[in-house]
Amino acid sequence: MKLLLLMLLLPASLTAMELTPYTAHYSASFSGLRGEMTMALSDSGEGHYVLESRTLARGLARLARPRDMVDRSEFTLDAGQLRPVSFVAEDGTRRNKRGNTIDFDWNNQSAVTEYRGETRAIGLTDGLLDRQLLQIAMTNDLANGVTEENYNVVDRLDKKVYRIQVTGEERVEVEAGSFNTVRVERQRPGSSRASVLWCAPELNYLPVKMEQLKDGKVIGTLELTAYE
């Protein structure tokens, strides 16, 4: 379920549209298990922002993940450049074995990431993101007419490249309403996993529907239920 949250990506500069605070609610399904996800962008003042997604498992899935699954990114805008400050991921289990924390030190051009008891320093370059900021990046690029792009992301203990490509336009109906959308595919080169997103221009290209695939088969979905 949480893998569906890792799907979006970044540009060099941002417009005010992409930084308008919002809260989006989704129904979630992964391997037959269901839950609810909320994603919210908030303005902390003085150019500081927080993007957080929080997923609550329902039914049998709640036994394995009794706590909320959380991805939380604090970031700034520096001369129009999106820069992550810190990232925290919690996996929803009691022990949080697959949790991840990343601290970004742009003055020293280094990020310290911790995952499964291992700590690693990663060199920073302009445009490098944490995985939660993929949403802001991709929606900004779509709004500026970009149809194909690669993005560099710190994910757990490594840098990874994500590629997006616009593959068409579709009308999509979900609980929150009916939307004209652009269809976007996202995949890491060589990975068996991919994501398909239907992004609505009238909601600043926020995804209203998402599917995660493995070896071409759908293993998870998100659908927008409400938007504020």
Residue 201 identity: P
- Beta carbons of 152 and 163 less than 8 angstroms apart: no
Which ranges constitute the DSSP H helices of 65-219? 134-143
pLDDT of the residue at 61: 61
Positive or negative torsion for Cα 212, 27, 206, 21:
negative
* pLDDT tens-digit readout, 51-81: 999 988 876 666 666 778 899 999 997 777 7
Task: Confirm if 26 and 14 have CB atoms less than 8 A apart.
Answer: no
pTM as predicted: 0.87
**What mean pLDDT comes out for the span 78-85?**
84
Note the pLDDT tens digit of each residue in 166-224. Answer: 999 999 999 999 999 999 999 999 999 999 999 999 999 999 999 999 999 999 999 99
CB 179 within 8 A of CB 142: no
Residues 31, 209, 160: CA angle, nearest 5 degrees? 75
